[in-house]
Chain A
Amino acid sequence: MRIGQLLGLAWRESRTARRRLLLYMSSISLGVAALVAIDSFASNTQQSVREQARALLGGDMALNSRQQFPAPVLAALDTLRREGVGVATVSTFASMAFVARSGTTRIAQIRAVSAGYPFYGEIVTAPARQWARLQSGRFALVDPSLLTALSARIGDTLALGFARFTIIGTLVSVPGDVAVTSAIGPRIYIPSAFLDETSLLMFGSRADHEALLKLTPALPPVRFIYRFKERLESAQVRYRTAAETEFNLTEAVDQLRDFLSVIGLIALLLGGIGVASGVHAFVMRKIDTVAILRCLGATSAQVLFIYLLQAAVMGLLGAAFGALLGVVIQLALPHVLADFLPVDVSVSLEPRAIVTGLVVGLWVAMVFALRPLVALRNVSPLQTLRRESDADALRGAKFDPIRVLLALLVVGSVAALGVARAEDAQQGLAFAAGIGAAVAMLYAAAAALSSGARRVVRPRWPFVLRQGVASLYRPGNQTRAVVLALGFGVFLMSTVYQVQHNLLRSVSIKLDASRANVVFFDVQDDQGAPLDTIVRAHGHTLVQRTPIVPMKIASINGLPSSRIIGDTTKGRPRRAGWALRREFRSTFRDAIVPSEKVTAGRFHTGGSAPPSLPQVSVDVSVANDLKLALGDTIVWDVQGVQVATRVTSFREVNWTRFEPNFFVVFERRALENAPKQYVLLARVNGQQAVAELQRDVVSRFPNVSSLDLTLIQQTVGRVLDKVTAAIRFMAGLSLALGIPVLFSAVSATRRERLREGVLLKVLGATRRQVGRIMLAEYLLLGALGSLVGVVLSVAGAWGLMHFVFKQAFQPAVLPALAVALLMMAVSVSIGLLTGRDVFQETPMAALREA
């Protein structure tokens, strides 16, 4: 037979089955869609996250120093300028600001910026586009709260030292500058060209100096560091790259992408199951045709080729449809997540993602379709003369090397997919191993059900129950196939649900913690209570009042900090000088807050009493820089008073959140009576209300500055809402599409049951009896498959939360039970539908077909 004729035959033979086969193979579509959408989305966001990271830093690299850059560094910057590298500087220091018209003064944070600052990201002002004007004269852009504090307005003249600046607008948003902890006071941006006129920065004045660099392609960050590392370090200049910022930023994006990746994998596997069981049912319908073809002289290779070709074409169509769906989702995602994506994501088709999706989809579809398809080889031409049951007609040799090979192919494909999609090979293999374990346990459960049914069934049971239970172990039973397909599907779907439930739980915790939208700084000890009263009098709620005590390190383990800094003995671990010199703004409380996680030791609970030392918890990165160990003693210099403490825990702090966070948290009794300031967080509704409160507070307490976080908060809230929506949407989609897949998986066994039902009817069984027999069998199958699947999913979800998302896991028990019940209902309804069909067919028609 020539290939053209074979193709023609394959095409013609598929005539009535095309739609059905396409339906089976389209199970793969969702997986491909998820894959294409996720890969395209990921590569689109990766680009924008990189851009956002640069925007936060303002350049490709930033150099920081506590002093004016020394001559060698300045020389290096000059060299760089000549090489085409963009250099912009900003000097930050605190100074008094004075407005003559109102006659008020206020301490503020001055930022003198040079032209070109920042290279990336946009500083938004009100009125708009004033940033571009800043460098063109003696102009200043200020925080809105400064206007309130100074009773000033736009156009007023602002005195800074000996220089005068015109306020041309207020700052709406400055990229990267949301960290509340860094805010010393309201910000004032001035052009650096007029910095000298102010005479504020004399030699030795405290100021932070930063140079932003826009690197050229010829000088990537790595090469820059290699070239200037020593010069910078010897001048005590610190350097950061945008890539480091990127890392902190993308937590939410990463989680979303990880979740989508998991969904993509699960959708592919669900699709695989759908394909396998669909093709299995398809194969059973084709036994007669194959027998005829064999009789007419077709070889088994020709027969296999015909159906492989049909499956491949339909699989390709299913995958193509999935890819199309994926592109649609990809195009929609940036709209859904518009606020979430930091810059406008230029949505572009990702040919690589599409091709990958098509290839992987077709591959998975074929791998899962092959196993049932090769059974057609076993159909003997004898079936034309004497038709056996479907299961017997397809039965091959006990040990079939091809089937073993295909089983290995499935295992290998799942492992390869896991490795290719996971962050590292280990995670991918763990994923594949988890799936393997789930399958093994389902198989064991099914085998146990089968043999259990055989043992438990009793002759005195009512006929229908006996018959239904006996279906679980009789020859040619479908127990293993159904429990495996149903249980595995439930396992995957329920895992998705459990993971999304836990992810959303952590998002809602974040939203709760960020409810405060107004922050008051520099609240003195005696101002805390009255400010409280003002906030309440306005009808607002005070969310948090955090005490802050400034201090320095006096000694560690009895060694004074000055001695430690001077100690340059070779071979001894160096403790970082910056941490020994810096001023710590610490707080005291006896409980941990949600933005912290203890990494070692135990967080103090306030139980200690003299003579034991008060306990402190130290940020893990500071602890590393100081080479601290649990149990070390640190004596702090708290405004002249020595406070001895013992380090009892290390914490990891999430600095990206709005609440004030601290490097060092003291036990309450250590600092309760120390002179302190407060940071107050309040919840205030409405822009007008915020302005009124700010004015009231400032008029009573001029030293208090405040920050309105409403805008940032709304943005974050919207972002989290979108992430929530995206997670819900994907989880819902996979659940919704999983159900039909499972429906087809369980339906694959219907034909055999239908035949038996008709026989029973011929023998005089009533509709009720047939219905109950089906009910008994499918209820048991459904219950076992669903329950084992759900139990496995709790373990699977725990693993994903723990190892991939690195978050706490709490099983959602009720929804898990609901999923189990739903799937049982699906199984039972298939049983009942089969029972109903038994009575819609005339016995003769059904028997003749048999």
Chain B
Amino acid sequence: MTKEYQSGDHRLAVLREVSFTIPDGAFVAIVGPSGSGKTTLLGLLAGLDVPSRGSVLLDGSDLTTLSEDQRARLRGAKVGFVFQSFQLIPTLTALENVQVPLELRGDDGAPARATELLARVGLGDRLHHFPNQLSGGEQQRVAIARAFSNAPRLLFADEPTGNLDSETGARIVELLEMLNRESGTTIVLVTHDLTLARRAQRIIRLADGAVVSDTASSATLDPRPEALPEARVVDAVSG
């Protein structure tokens, strides 16, 4: 697919003929320097936006043929989100934030399921706190609980550790990995942090709106970053 934006008189291509498939249950990282089109790609994959040309197939549905509201319903049913800035609704408590996707689906057991999810991310005792009463790590754990509340087939994480210190970040990633293993949820992680990316099974690298490489992660083979020849290049670009 291709995504272009109209900028003044000329069109600016942010993504150029990007094409790949992510199998069910996979854990994929999309990496690339700032401005490479990562976030745009994530938006298109999740159906937050539609490509200028080409199509996005999500669990068999072509997102480009769906209306805005149909895509919203699809998200509610099959997609979860974790953001860099958590994006919790400030006026709702932790529990209520987790309940939202369930309630949007009309799920009756929303409070019970939300309580259980928060307990699983270790926040069983902070159900009724508001986002501004929680630390960054706790907020992100609420966000993850919310992302999993509708048992999504697919979870999108946009720099989920970007606003956290490394230790807290590591715990968040462990949580994601655990949920991926236990529920078989497909995870698409967008980051410019290679250490984080290497925990995925597969890494898609973007530069200037195009896929420059799509490889199985070497993490399972060789945990050292030096083992990846492309890593240095990307590090040099992003660093």
- Residues of A in contact with B (beta carbons under 8 Å apart): 1-2, 5-6, 8-9, 12-17, 288-289, 291-302, 380-382, 384-386
Contacts and interface: CB of A to CB of B under 8 A. Distances in A.
Q: Of residues B72, B75, B88, B90, which shows the largest number of chain A Cβ atoms within 10 Å of its Cβ?
A: B72
Contact of A297 (B42, B75, B89, B90): B75
Given A16-B90, A289-B90, A381-B48, A298 B43 contact: no
23 contacts: A8-B103, A9-B103, A14-B91, A15-B92, A288-B87, A289-B91, A292-B89, A293-B89, A295-B75, A295-B87, A296-B75, A296-B76, A296-B146, A297-B77, A297-B101, A298-B76, A298-B104, A381-B75, A382-B43, A382-B48, A384-B83, A385-B43, A386-B39
A385 B104 contact: no
B125 interface: no
A715 to B, nearest CB: 59
Nearest to A383: B48
Given A296-B75, A385-B158, A302 B104 contact: yes
B53 interface: no
B208 interface: no
A296 B78 CA distance: 10
Contacts of A12: 91-92, 96
Contacts of A14: 91
Given A289-B91, A301-B69, 16 more contacts: A5-B110, A12-B96, A13-B91, A13-B92, A292-B87, A292-B88, A293-B89, A297-B75, A297-B76, A298-B72, A381-B48, A381-B72, A381-B75, A385-B42, A385-B48, A386-B43
A16 B91 contact: yes
A293 B79 CA distance: 13
A675 B4 CA distance: 103
A13 B158 contact: no
Interface in B101-115: 101, 103-106, 110
A297 B110 CA distance: 15
A293 to B, nearest CB: 7
A751 to B, nearest CB: 16
Contacts of B105: 1, 297
Contacts of B88: 292
A302 B110 CA distance: 18
Contact of A385 (B39, B72, B75): B39
A283 B42 CA distance: 27
B235 interface: no
Contact of A380 (B49, B83, B87, B90): B49
B106 A1 contact: yes
Contacts, number: 93
A296 B147 CA distance: 8
B100 interface: yes
Contacts of B39: 385-386
A647 to B, nearest CB: 79
B81 interface: yes
A13 B130 CA distance: 12
Nearest to B101: A296
A109 to B, nearest CB: 80
A302 B68 CA distance: 13
Contacts of A288: 87
B103 A1 contact: yes
Given A5-B106, A13-B92, A385-B43, A293 B100 contact: yes
A103 B104 CA distance: 103
A588 B5 CA distance: 88
B43 A294 contact: no
Contacts of B46: 295
A297 B46 CA distance: 11
B73 interface: yes
Given A380-B49, A382-B49, A385-B43, A296 B91 contact: no
A9 B87 contact: no
Nearest to A298: B104
A248 B68 CA distance: 66
A6 B103 CA distance: 8
Given A1-B103, A17-B91, A300 B69 contact: yes
Contacts of B101: 296-297
A297 B73 contact: yes
A131 B49 CA distance: 90
Nearest to A303: B72
A16 B133 CA distance: 14
B56 to A, nearest CB: 14
A1 B101 CA distance: 9
B87 A299 contact: no
Contacts of B72: 294, 297-300, 381
Nearest to A14: B91
A291 B103 CA distance: 17
Nearest to B76: A297
B100 A9 contact: yes
A296 to B, nearest CB: 5
Contacts of A386: 39, 43
A1 B104 contact: yes
Contacts of A297: 72-77, 79, 101, 104-105, 150
A298 to B, nearest CB: 5
A660 B88 CA distance: 81
Contacts of B106: 1-2, 5
Q: Of residues B74, B90, B110, B150, which shows the largest number of chain A Cβ atoms within 10 Å of its Cβ?
A: B90
A5 B49 CA distance: 27
B158 to A, nearest CB: 6
Interface in B38-54: 39, 42-43, 46, 48-49
Contacts of B75: 295-297, 381
Given A289-B90, A302-B104, A296 B81 contact: yes
A386 B48 CA distance: 11
Closest 4 CB pairs of A and B: A297-B76, A5-B103, A299-B69, A381-B48
A282 to B, nearest CB: 12
Nearest to A299: B69
A300 B68 contact: yes
Given A9-B100, A13-B91, A296-B100, A385 B83 contact: yes
Contacts of A380: 48-49
Contacts of B49: 380, 382
B207 to A, nearest CB: 19
Contact of B91 (A15, A302, A384): A15
Q: Of residues B69, B92, B103, B106, which shows the largest number of chain A Cβ atoms within 10 Å of its Cβ?
A: B103
B92 to A, nearest CB: 6
Contacts of A13: 89, 91-92
A5 B100 CA distance: 9
A295 B77 contact: no
Contacts of A299: 68-69, 72-73
A186 B103 CA distance: 87
Nearest to A18: B91
B91 A295 contact: no
Nearest to B44: A382
Nearest to A291: B87
B220 to A, nearest CB: 30
Contacts of A289: 89-91
A382 to B, nearest CB: 5
B80 to A, nearest CB: 9
Contacts of A292: 87-89
B144 to A, nearest CB: 13
A288 B85 CA distance: 11
Contacts of A5: 103-104, 106, 110
A13 B39 CA distance: 28
B175 to A, nearest CB: 19
B110 to A, nearest CB: 7
Given A2-B106, A296-B100, A300-B69, A384 B87 contact: yes
A298 B150 CA distance: 13
A757 to B, nearest CB: 22
Contacts of B76: 296-298
A383 to B, nearest CB: 9
A306 to B, nearest CB: 11
Nearest to B78: A297
